[in-house]
């Protein structure tokens, strides 16, 4: 690091002192906290994003959002050149950088890390960071802190993209690094064009099926509502009624997290909406769940991320079977691998259903970064969490083969069933956001598949019936005392607790249970399933008692 760079960093860092007593850590969702505590952290993440851009010689992204958290919170995370999450290799550096106590310590950390990672900091480097934020009032002043951090690394530009959804920013980063046009309008054009293509190849027998063309969407009073209003103007085959577009309080009684956890009608919906397909986005529009409203009740029938995953898997498997035959062989030297990735929180009924379809189902620890990484190992990898965050990944080799196969079929005199299947899969690969979970692309793909199948939402929901489940949190002295294995389904420390859990679980028909330490607070999370809600509750309480016995404290909530 030369003296000019050192001087710039010393000056800018001194303007953003750490708030006393605050220590944050970078998780799957980046840093999150009350917005009043984040200015220094966002500034430092700006530095990190700039360093990542210089190292990779690529565009990276920085998003200011706290997703489904309350409006007074905010957060910041980095989009890697692939459009996905920040490389896990950089997470420890993010932690130490954000918590460095004084400017000199911060400079030494940057200098040491730059030397270790061979990042040139001599003023000749170039980089670019795309900066986005959601609609939170705190976003504007935090964006200024991010710009200061980004531009404190010589040669790096901060391009302010303004207010946008998190998936839009990730999509833009991925597109820019692929040499594609990457404006917000390009995003809308790609989604609407791909959706129209899918609608064009709906089987003739299903085109006039009585599937309501209207879907009512809860925008969580966040950025998703206002952006969906723009997108829907480009869609001629679907009527979207957007509610909660920003007139109320962000995420308060609305949004995907509220709907999924509380299972009650969000604000802005009522008896007049009974019988319609309804969907909820979260605050930054990277989660999606569907629901229907029960007659004469404030309760809903939830169609969560597991059901969305199952619908996508069923459709894609159908297209592959048309295109390649039941054995999945596309030619003698190539075999398409379709895989489904879940966490232990996926309802057991969904896993059983997917396996009955003949699909390969694998599990990872909780966290999108683990799901995404595993899904990328397949030709087509589908992952979703029950909370509605997920996407579909297509390998470059499979897409290359698919393009070639489509060109071969085009040479025939008419569009065959196989070519239609190839065109549908190509359209899905462009409609779905392969960088990150995206409620807009997920919504359009759900709507296209339901139309393709000729299904109502109620028929979709009948694919399988969830096993009753229960989640509890048990306060403990030290959550790190619990060590898990096998995608967090088995406890290896403390010794003896897993055997006790197994013995308790065996008492309940269709019983399933696992515990795992929280990533953010000193609690152990307990998840149970059983044949009835009463049994799931009873098993959860029994296992919570075991956790108390092995780890101390006697408080659950």
Output the known binding site for substrate. 385-387, 516-520, 525
How far, in Å, CA of 386 to CA of 290, rounded? 11
**Active-site residue, selected from the candidate residues 12, 40, 53, 67:** 67
Mode of pairing for the β-strands spanning 483-485 and 300-303: unpaired
How far, in Å, CA of 429 to CA of 281, rounded? 21
67 catalytically annotated: yes
Task: Identify which of 291, 289, 248, 284 has the alpha carbon closest to the alpha carbon of residue 268.
Answer: 248
**472 φ/ψ angles, rounded to the nearest 5 degrees:** -130, 155
Task: Outline where 122-165 has alpha helix (H).
Answer: 139-151
Output the known binding site for Mg(2+). 67, 282, 284, 286
Measured CA distances, 51 to 110, 139, 224, 308, 505 (Å): 9, 22, 30, 37, 49
How far, in Å, CA of 204 to CA of 19, rounded? 63
With a CB cutoff of 8 Å and minimum separation 6, the contacts of 378 are 337, 338, 339, 393, 395
Count of other CB atoms within 10 angstroms of residue 216: 20
Task: Identify which of 212, 222, 305 has the alpha carbon closest to the alpha carbon of residue 266.
Answer: 222
With a CB cutoff of 8 Å and minimum separation 6, the contacts of 75 are 29, 30, 31, 32, 33, 38, 64, 65, 66, 67, 69
How far, in Å, CA of 96 to CA of 153, rounded? 18
- Look at the block and give the residue holding tokens 């029938």: 301
Measured CA distances, 386 to 285, 304, 344, 368 (Å): 15, 6, 10, 12
How far, in Å, CA of 145 to CA of 462, rounded? 49
How far, in Å, CA of 199 to CA of 427, rounded? 10
DSSP letters, 427-471, are: HHHHHS-SSS--HHHHHHHHHHHHHHHT--HHHHHTT--PPPEEE
How far, in Å, CA of 253 to CA of 31, rounded? 24
User: Which amino acids are annotated catalytic?
Assistant: 67
């Amino acid at each position: 690091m030369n003296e000019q760079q050192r001087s710039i960093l010393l000056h800018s860092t001194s303007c953003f002192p750490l708030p006393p007593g605050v220590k944050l850590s970078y998780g799957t969702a980046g840093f999150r906290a009350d917005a009043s505590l984040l200015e220094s952290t966002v500034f430092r993440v700006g530095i990190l994003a700039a360093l990542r851009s210089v190292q990779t010689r690529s565009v990276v992204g920085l998003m200011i959002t706290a997703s489904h958290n309350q409006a007074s919170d905010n957060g910041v995370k980095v989009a890697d050149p692939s459009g996905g999450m920040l490389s896990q290799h950089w997470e420890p550096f993010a932690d130490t950088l954000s918590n460095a106590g004084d400017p000199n310590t911060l400079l030494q950390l940057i200098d040491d890390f730059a030397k270790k990672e061979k990042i040139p900091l001599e003023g000749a480097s170039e980089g670019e960071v795309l900066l986005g934020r959601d609609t939170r009032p705190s976003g504007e002043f935090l964006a200024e802190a991010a710009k200061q951090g980004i531009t404190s690394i010589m040669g790096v530009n901060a391009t302010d993209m303004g207010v946008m959804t998190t998936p839009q920013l990730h999509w833009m980063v991925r597109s820019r690094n692929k040499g594609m046009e990457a404006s917000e309008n390009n995003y809308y054009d790609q989604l609407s064009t791909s959706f129209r293509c899918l609608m064009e190849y709906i089987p003739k027998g299903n085109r006039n099926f009585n599937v309501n063309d209207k879907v009512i969407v809860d925008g969580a009073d966040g950025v998703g509502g206002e952006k969906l209003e723009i997108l829907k103007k480009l869609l001629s085959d679907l009527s979207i009624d957007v509610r909660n577009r920003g007139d109320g309080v962000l995420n308060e009684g609305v949004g995907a997290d509220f709907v999924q956890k509380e299972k009650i009608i969000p604000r802005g919906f009522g008896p007049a909406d009974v019988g319609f397909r309804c969907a909820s986005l979260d605050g930054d529009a990277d989660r999606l769940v569907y629901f229907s409203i029960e007659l004469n009740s404030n309760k809903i029938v939830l169609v969560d991320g597991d059901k969305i995953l199952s619908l996508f898997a069923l459709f894609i498997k159908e297209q592959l079977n048309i295109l390649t035959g039941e054995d999945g062989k596309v030619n003698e030297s190539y075999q398409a691998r379709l895989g489904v990735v879940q966490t232990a929180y996926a309802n057991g009924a969904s896993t059983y259903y997917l396996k009955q379809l003949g699909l390969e189902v694998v599990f990872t620890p909780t966290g999108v970064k683990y799901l995404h990484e595993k899904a990328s190992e397949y030709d087509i990898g589908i992952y979703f969490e029950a909370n509605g965050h997920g996407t579909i990944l297509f390998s470059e080799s499979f897409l290359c083969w698919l393009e070639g196969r489509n060109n071969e079929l085009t040479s025939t005199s008419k569009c065959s069933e196989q070519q239609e299947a190839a065109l549908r899969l190509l359209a899905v690969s462009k409609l779905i956001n392969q960088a990150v979970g995206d409620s807009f692309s997920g919504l359009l793909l759900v709507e296209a598949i339901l139309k393709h199948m000729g299904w109502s939402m109620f028929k979709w929901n009948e694919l399988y019936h969830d096993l009753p489940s229960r989640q509890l949190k048990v306060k403990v002295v030290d959550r790190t005392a619990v060590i898990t294995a096998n995608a967090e389904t088995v406890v290896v420390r403390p010794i003896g607790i897993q055997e006790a859990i197994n013995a308790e679980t065996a008492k309940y028909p269709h019983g399933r249970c696992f515990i795992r330490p929280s990533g953010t607070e000193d609690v152990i999370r307990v998840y149970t399933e059983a044949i009835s809600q009463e049994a799931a509750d009873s098993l959860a309480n029994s296992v919570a008692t075991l956790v108390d016995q092995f780890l101390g404290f006697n408080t659950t909530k």
